[in-house]
């Protein structure tokens, strides 16, 4: 279907749901069958994005704006709610939280995670729940603790008033019907189903939902409702395990091991914050006695999932815990898990600044399993950082799908250039006067080292590490939002370069990879740390005038720039030459002035910089 058909289908589908709902997916698809076969339409409707679509516990869909119009839900006020005029949403108000206004001063449903400034302004340090209802100042001036506030839907908007209880329904029979097959349900969906099953409910102010649930023998935790005694913690683990298995394509046992490993690490983190632990002794007490508990981490995907979920963000304490757990598993775990254990310990050692210890762990992983993919990839990265493209490519070649890795593509530029026309004892092609076998046979052209091209690409590959991925993707998404080039690469434009320098990744690259780089590369890299982005005017081929300093620089690799062009870029010197990186064509003098204004600030905002560049 094209875009017009999609919009027409969405409109027709919502109209049908309002007029005929609640509907099962099949019934709903049949209502709009003029757009295609019911099976094809059902696939589209299942992912239709409209905030007014509600999914009921019975498996049907309902149009919330139609179903909830005119209904009233109540909430009993606390002193802190009156003072802040921010209402706890769970459980009483869950059914109406899809209705939110962005107009200042009106009743608003607030996602607490993204409205911390508003909550602090209202005197709330921590939100009651994930979503809260923010009222205009003065709304609760005449209320006292224990009073009832009513919230109703009128013409699709939330309205509030002071109320008295006019109805005290017994929800036990209705809830028994809803929970006949399932042990737990979403609070909002239970409220919707109650309203659908009994049209007389919630037509006048009644006892708050939470109080009625409690009276019927039900309890809630966060946005979930279940019978009293339900094990919410076990259910959360069950859901988490299923989601991990689906996301990382793991078996149930592998996902269970991932959850257990991450949970153990988190408990260790809490313990380490409270007391000064001997982490290796702590790991021995928790892992050494039951090492088979984590045997399923032997699968490479499971090990990667454990690292990604528990240790993706850099934190020295977490990394020390990971190293202790990995080391203990490597020493006492079953044979099959030792490659994963060494890899996990190696990842921790690397992030703690001990790259050679990390390398030793990865080599030990391969001693236990010669083609264990994650360890091969890390060693390929290290070989590339040492400028040994041949070994890096060889290691990648041992990984299933290794030739599809970005590193493999990058290394093609730096593989040794063969000269089959020369014999081993012939003079080298480079003019050094030495024999080919001692000069360039099997070696990369030194010019790619001298001009800094390889060094910069090494830093780019380092930026693709999992701990930096969120930042790089965030910056690239900001660039993409202002670009209509669907074929652009992550290496194109400013996102990756800004992540490296303004984002601080390049400084970590020097610290963590310095032992693998040559002294010349380390010196060049440290020099680059002081190089700021600027706006340049191309005065002649490969000559750029810096609009900030007035200096002219000669660069390599600017063949795509023409005299008169304005470009925002970073110009990195290397020896007698320089390279242009992270460049963006500046379209006008006005844009150039705006970019220079942002760059001139002591602490310029990255998002604002990308915005003016776009």
Give the model confidence (pLDDT) of 172-182 as tens digits. Answer: 999 999 998 67
Number of neighbouring beta carbons within 10 Å of residue 437: 14
Q: What is the DSSP letter of 556?
A: B
Distance CA 136, CA 106 (A): 6
- Per-residue model confidence (pLDDT) at position 432: 55
The helix-helix angle for 300-311 and 373-385 (nearest 10°) equals 70
Tokens 């050094």 -> residue = 432
Helix (H) or strand (E) holding 181: none
Q: Which pair of tokens denotes residue 90?
A: 């769970």
- Per-residue model confidence (pLDDT) at position 273: 72
- Per-residue model confidence (pLDDT) at position 115: 79
Q: Give 545: exposed, middle or buried? Use CB within 10 Å, 0-12, 13-18, 19+.
A: middle
The CA–CA distances, whole Å, from 51 to 54, 63, 96 equal 8, 9, 11
Long-range contacts: 314-318, Cβ < 8 Å, 24+? 314/351, 314/467, 316/352, 317/269, 317/272, 317/273, 318/265, 318/269
pLDDT tens digit string along 121-150? 888 876 666 788 888 888 898 899 999 999
| CB of 430 closer than 8 Å to CB of 439 | yes
Beta strands 184-186 and 148-154, pairing class: unpaired
Q: Minimal CA–CA distance to 272: which of 316, 329, 310?
A: 316
Tokens 């020295």 -> residue = 316
Residue 375's contacts (CB-CB under 8 Å, 6 or more residues apart) are 339, 342, 343, 346, 362, 363, 365, 366
Which regions of the chain are under pLDDT 50?
A: 1-4, 102-105
Q: Which pair of tokens denotes residue 82?
A: 């009156």
Cis amide prior to 241 (ω within 30 degrees): no
Distance CA 524, CA 393 (A): 25
| CB of 295 closer than 8 Å to CB of 257 | yes
Q: Minimal CA–CA distance to 400: which of 374, 432, 422, 437?
A: 374
**Structure-derived torsion over alpha carbons of residues 533, 539, 540, 542, reported in degrees to the nearest 10:** -10
The CA–CA distances, whole Å, from 552 to 392, 447, 453, 505, 535 equal 38, 23, 21, 28, 12
Dihedral sign for Cα atoms in the order 347, 349, 353, 357 = negative
Distance CA 395, CA 377 (A): 7
Distance CA 189, CA 391 (A): 57
- Per-residue model confidence (pLDDT) at position 398: 95
| CB of 97 closer than 8 Å to CB of 151 | no
Distance CA 137, CA 294 (A): 54
241 three-state secondary structure: helix
- Per-residue model confidence (pLDDT) at position 561: 78
- Per-residue model confidence (pLDDT) at position 18: 94
Distance CA 258, CA 256 (A): 5
Q: Give 76: exposed, middle or buried? Use CB within 10 Å, 0-12, 13-18, 19+.
A: middle
370 three-state secondary structure: coil
Tokens 């939330």 -> residue = 158
CA R_g for the chain? 31
Q: Which pair of tokens denotes residue 270?
A: 């809490």
């Amino acid at each position: 279907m094209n875009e017009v058909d999609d919009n027409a289908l969405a409109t027709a589908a919502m109209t049908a749901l309002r007029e005929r709902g609640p509907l099962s997916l099949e019934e709903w698809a049949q209502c709009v069958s003029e757009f295609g076969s019911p099976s094809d339409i059902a696939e589209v409707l299942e992912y239709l994005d409209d905030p007014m679509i509600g999914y009921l516990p019975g498996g049907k869909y309902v149009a919330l704006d139609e179903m909830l119009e005119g209904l009233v839900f109540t909430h009993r006020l606390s002193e802190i709610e009156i003072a802040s005029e921010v209402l706890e949403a769970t459980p009483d108000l869950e059914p109406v939280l899809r209705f939110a206004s962005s107009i200042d001063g009106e009743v608003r449903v607030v996602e607490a995670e993204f409205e911390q400034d508003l909550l602090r302004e209202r005197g709330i340090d921590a939100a009651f729940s994930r979503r809260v209802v923010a009222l205009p100042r003065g709304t609760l001036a005449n209320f006292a603790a224990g009073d009832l506030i009513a919230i109703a839907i009128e013409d699709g908007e939330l309205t509030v008033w002071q109320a008295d209880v006019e109805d005290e329904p017994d929800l036990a029979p209705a809830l028994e019907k809803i929970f006949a097959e399932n042990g737990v349900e979403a609070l909002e969906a239970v409220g919707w189903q109650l309203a659908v099953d009994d049209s007389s409910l919630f037509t006048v102010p009644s006892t708050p939902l939470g109080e009625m649930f409690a009276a019927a023998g039900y309890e809630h935790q966060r946005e979930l409702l279940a019978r009293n005694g339900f094990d919410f913690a076990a259910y959360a683990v069950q859901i988490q395990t299923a989601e991990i298995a689906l996301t990382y394509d793991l078996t149930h046992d592998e996902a269970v091991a991932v959850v257990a490993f991450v949970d153990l690490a988190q408990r260790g983190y809490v313990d380490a914050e409270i007391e000064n632990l001997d982490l290796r002794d702590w790991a021995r007490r928790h892992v050494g006695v039951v090492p088979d508990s984590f045997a399923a981490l032997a699968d490479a995907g499971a090990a990667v999932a454990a690292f990604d979920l528990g240790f993706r963000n850099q934190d020295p304490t977490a990394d020390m815990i990971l190293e202790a757990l990995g080391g203990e598993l490597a020493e006492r775990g079953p044979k099959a898990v030792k490659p994963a254990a060494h890899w996990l310990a190696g990842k921790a050692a690397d992030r703690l600044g001990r790259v050679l210890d990390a390398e030793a762990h990865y080599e030990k992983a391969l001693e236990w399993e010669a083609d264990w993919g994650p360890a091969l990839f890390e060693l390929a990265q290290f070989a590339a950082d040492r400028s040994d493209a041949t070994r890096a490519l060889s290691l990648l070649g041992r990984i299933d799908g290794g030739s599809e890795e970005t590193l493999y593509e990058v290394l093609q530029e730096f593989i040794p250039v063969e000269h089959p026309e020369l014999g081993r004892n012939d003079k080298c092609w480079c003019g050094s006067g030495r024999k080919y076998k001692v000069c360039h046979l099997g070696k990369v052209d030194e010019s790619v080292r001298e001009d800094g091209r390889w060094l910069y690409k090494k830093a780019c590959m380092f930026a693709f590490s999992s701990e930096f991925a969120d930042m790089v993707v965030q910056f690239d998404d900001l660039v993409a939002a202002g670009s209509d080039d669907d074929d652009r690469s992550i290496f194109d434009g400013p996102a990756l370069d800004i992540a490296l320098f303004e984002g601080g990744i390049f400084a970590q690259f020097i610290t963590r990879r310095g032992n693998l780089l040559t002294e010349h590369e380390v010196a060049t890299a440290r020099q680059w740390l002081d190089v700021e982005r600027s706006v340049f005017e191309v005065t002649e081929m490969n000559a750029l005038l810096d609009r900030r300093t007035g200096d002219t620089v000669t660069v390599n690799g600017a063949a795509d720039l023409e005299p008169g062009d304005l470009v925002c870029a970073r110009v990195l010197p290397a020896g007698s030459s320089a390279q242009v990186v992270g460049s963006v064509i500046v379209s006008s003098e006005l844009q150039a002035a705006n970019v220079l204004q942002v760059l001139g600030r002591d602490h310029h905002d990255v998002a604002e910089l990308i915005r003016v560049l776009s």
